[in-house]
Amino acid sequence: MNLDLLRSSIEAKTEFDYSRSGGPGGQNVNKVNSKAIARIRLDEVLGLSAAEAALATLRLASRLTTAGELIVQSDEERDQGRNREAALARLFSLIAGAARIPKQRKATKPTRGSRERRLASKRSRASSKDLRRKPSE
């Protein structure tokens, strides 16, 4: 995954709509379009291999529209520019996180020390439970 190419491609291909925000804004809240709504088609994003793009499409399937667009909105800030940057950052983190291929786990055996610690703790638990028993006659 080429993160620089991914970030620049997201910035270039994202389309924005703006609307009135329900968040903070003081006197301007009813007259300024500060909410940023970002939409991008996942098949237009560059910087992902074919496997990463397929994985991202699969993982983000519930968030995609029928046209294959991922939509994110931000209205936390009072400023349209900051909401735009927040929406871009959220798009980037969503796509990069969904496209990340997990490392294959290498199977390992427990070490001798860990086996001994496990058995020692079992013996300790067993002895404390033995002490709770009524003495046998």
Higher-scoring residue by pLDDT: 137, 121? 121
pTM over 0.75: no
Looking at the domain assignment, is residue 85 inside a domain?
Answer: yes
Let me know the angle formed at the C-alpha of 16 by 19 and 84, rounded to the nearest 5 degrees.
Answer: 80
By residue range, what is the domain housing residue 51? Answer: 3-99
Q: What is the pLDDT of residues 51-93, one digit of tens each?
A: 888 999 999 899 888 888 999 999 888 888 899 999 999 999 9
Looking at the domain assignment, is residue 64 inside a domain?
Answer: yes
Asked if the model's pLDDT at residue 23 lies above 60, the reply is no
Mean pLDDT within 119-124? 97
Strand partners, 16: 38
Looking at the domain assignment, is residue 15 inside a domain?
Answer: yes
What was the pLDDT predicted at 72? 92
Structure-block tokens of residue 29: 């809240």
Q: How many domains does the chain have?
A: 1
The one-letter amino acid code at 105 reads: R
Where do the DSSP E strands lie in 1-137?
A: 15-19, 35-41, 69-74
Q: What percent of the chain has pLDDT over 70?
A: 93
CATH number of the structural domain spanning residue 9: 3.30.160.20
